A and B are shown apart, each in its own frame.
Chain A
């Protein structure tokens, strides 16, 4: 399942260096995460490129034993259906409450974009696919950490099942709590990147992202999005909409 395509050829590294120096790349349809002329984003960009150049593509994050599983706080959104929470989405919040009341039987995730066969999957569909279970450390940007066991289907399995096209570069995730974020192909095809429906041997609890969350084990916790509803494969670094403040907000790449 390991994709041997080099995600970041040296040529784009040099082109990107020029763009981060302020020489600007084309306004839309960028293949690289843009820096928006923002000094902090340029620093993030250098870190991202350095990691992709220097670190082995498929290195696995450390995995732990059952006895290492720890207490884990639920922060950020703990229920997307709760209209009092900060990231409540007036469209998808109530929809979440509806699928939640069916025990997530009515829940579906769509996979679209640069795929030959866009798909709609129920929880059972995903659970029938080959699964992966690992015990890893969740590292939050706030500074705390926790160890938990995650069970799910490798994202690469789902992407290949949908016939992901060879020119695809990014995978975008849309969540019920209005959150939108993306990862590059290096992380998307990484063996530990899974769509998790199980946590610590049980069904994924609501406050940890039920029914389905992403696990990106080589990045900081907030990249492992909860409450997924849609996956979009893109060729370019498409803007994720107004809820993604990459230009003036948080770093897009967080391997640190």
Chain B
């Protein structure tokens, strides 16, 4: 394997992408798109977020996402107290049908999660062993200084002549966002996802302790998804801005 040459001012020519990066990129990309679409369907069934262990239509939410009107406070019949203490714990019957496509959405979500998990593990491992993660992806020591951040941001706004190269070396803002997405948001998606699985938290109750409960994990899962969605939009936009054909060639054929 040839030693990578770190070209500091490579604004027109990138190194391209190695084969394992290209393959895992597309497996991860497809699984994330599938997870995102099925996830939105799952969220739509109960688009309310809570903190702690408990959250349902009969308790207040910390956030209601306006996707579908599955929450209808007036559609409940017969509030019945479980105990002598009125309204401490009570029940009510839901008397309206809700939108629910979870039969396929959940199974598809977990199927895609397997691909995401396996490709993600291979990617993380290969990135660590080859030094790719440290060399090209993660923010470096000086990256967080105001001066270098400012310089990199200005680089992004400046009009350029011609298309930019594909692959490393990456700019500072790029490295910071890759770092957040790959080493914070994606692992968080997996951990919060596992924290919502009753069989897994029975074996590993620490997953519930980390987030403070099932509903907290679900809420963090949603916000972590929002970060990934934002990244996805910016990422695809940048691919178009910097030359769609060239970037796609680099991520498929490698050249």
Contacts and interface: CB of A to CB of B under 8 A. Distances in A.
Interface in A196-231: 199-202, 205, 207-208, 217-220
Contacts of A61: 198, 201-202
Lowest 5 A-B CB distances belong to which pairs? A255-B199, A43-B111, A143-B46, A256-B197, A144-B56
A140 B218 CA distance: 13
Interface stretch (A1-9, A62-70, A116-124, A126-134): A62-70
B199 A137 contact: no
Interface in B188-224: 196-203, 205, 208, 214-215, 218
A139 interface: yes
Contacts of B208: 62
A200 B93 contact: no
16 contacts: A40-B111, A42-B111, A43-B111, A61-B202, A62-B202, A62-B205, A74-B92, A74-B94, A75-B94, A137-B54, A140-B46, A140-B56, A207-B78, A218-B199, A251-B103, A255-B198
Interface of A: 39-44, 46-47, 51, 55-56, 59-62, 64, 68-75, 78, 86, 137, 139-148, 199-202, 205, 207-208, 217-220, 249-251, 255-256
Nearest to A223: B198
Contacts of B107: 40-41, 43-44, 250-251
Contacts, number: 157
Contact of A255 (B57, B78, B104, B197): B197
If over half of A's interface residues share one DSSP class (helix, strand or loop), that class is named, otherwise mixed; here it is loop
A74 B104 CA distance: 23
Contacts of A219: 198-199
